[in-house]
Amino acid sequence: MTYIVLDYVDIALAALLLLINAGLSMSLHLGIGRRLLIASLRMVVQLSLIGLVLEQLFALVSPWATGGAALVMVLFAGREIAARQTHRFTGWWTHGLGTGSMMAAGALVTLLALSTAIRADPWYDPRYALPLFGMILGNAMTGVSLGLERLLAGARRERSAIEARLSLGGTRWEAFRPVLRDALRAGLMPIVNTMSATGVVALPGMMTGQILAGVPPVEAVKYQFLIMFLIAGAVGLGTFAATLGGVLRLTDERHRLRLDRLRDAAPGDR
């Protein structure tokens, strides 16, 4: 198997496109040129560091090292989920619900793949476990984040309707059903759109990378099938867990609405 070796000149030429975009933003006063450059610089630093870390982890092949790296990924993803919320839970629920839902879904789906389709030996080999977990976790993060954002905003917006259903004897699930459905749709829609466009509109990154590395296209397609199914499963499980947990937190055992458990994000939190 052969692969194309890139040098820094090739990368610098591609980076010129970002400078062009930043220049256009400044000339049109869009206000995102600086943010674009900072984001690209942050990406370069993060990927450079993770490349060095992965080299060490690949050499160790330790379950503790692999688990520790996965935990760090989950914690950073959980922070991103909390940072994207306009309305937040009080206390540890702000980070705990999104992080826990995403971690449970991502770990379950990753372990399933490692023990069945991938059949890594050992199962915790970071060469397989961490890239797979990273792809699943990133997409689950988006679904959980969107689902929680829509749920909490809907609870504030539909407060009167929810309380009316509860006062008429409805359970918390009956009262929240329209808001919950809207939140689940929001969380699942990105992966639905991605799967709908995959293959015709866009060639996914993993499939493209394998083809560039010399893998036959038919085999690359099989791997992409696997990855997309795993990602969709994790997004669904994580979004369901997060939104259902959100409904439980926004109500109590007497089926009363508890918006006092919500707070608005401060400007410095986002």
| Residues above pLDDT 90, as percent of the chain | 53
Say whether both 140 and 129 belong to one domain: yes
d(CA 104, CA 235): 11
Q: Are residues 23 and 56 in the same domain?
A: yes
What's the whole-number mean pLDDT along residues 196-218? 81
| Chain centroid to CA 12 | 29
Tokens of 121: 């030996």
Whether residues 151 and 177 fall in one domain = yes
Tell me the pLDDT of the chain averaged across its residues. 89
Q: Which of 60, 77, 98 is the last residue of a domain?
A: 60
Q: Where does residue 255 rank: exposed (0-12), middle (13-18), buried (19+ CB within 10 A)?
A: middle
* Tens-place pLDDT, residues 163-177: 999 999 889 999 999
Q: Are 47 and 68 found together in one domain?
A: no
User: Global pTM?
Assistant: 0.85
Same domain? For 106 and 233 the reply is: yes
Mean pLDDT of 117-134: 91
> Is 222 in the same domain as 125?
yes
pLDDT above 90: residue 179: yes
Query: 46 and 66 share a domain?
Result: no
* Domain co-membership, 7 together with 127: no
**Are residues 17 and 74 both part of a single domain?**
no
Q: Which of 155, 203, 201 is nearest to 178 (CA)?
A: 155
What is the per-residue pLDDT for 111?
Answer: 94
Q: Name the amino acid, one letter, at 185.
A: R
User: Do residue 107 and residue 215 come from a single domain?
Assistant: yes
**103 lies in the same domain as 20:** no
Q: Domain end: 60, 75, 105, which one? A: 60
Domain holding 191, by residue range, is: 61-269
28 and 146 both lie in a single domain? no
My answer on whether omega of the bond before 122 falls inside 30° of 0, hence cis, is yes
Q: Which of 60, 90, 107 marks a domain boundary?
A: 60
Query: How many structural domains compose the chain?
Result: 2
Task: Please report the pLDDT score of residue 133 as a whole number.
Answer: 95
Residues 260-266 have a mean pLDDT of: 77
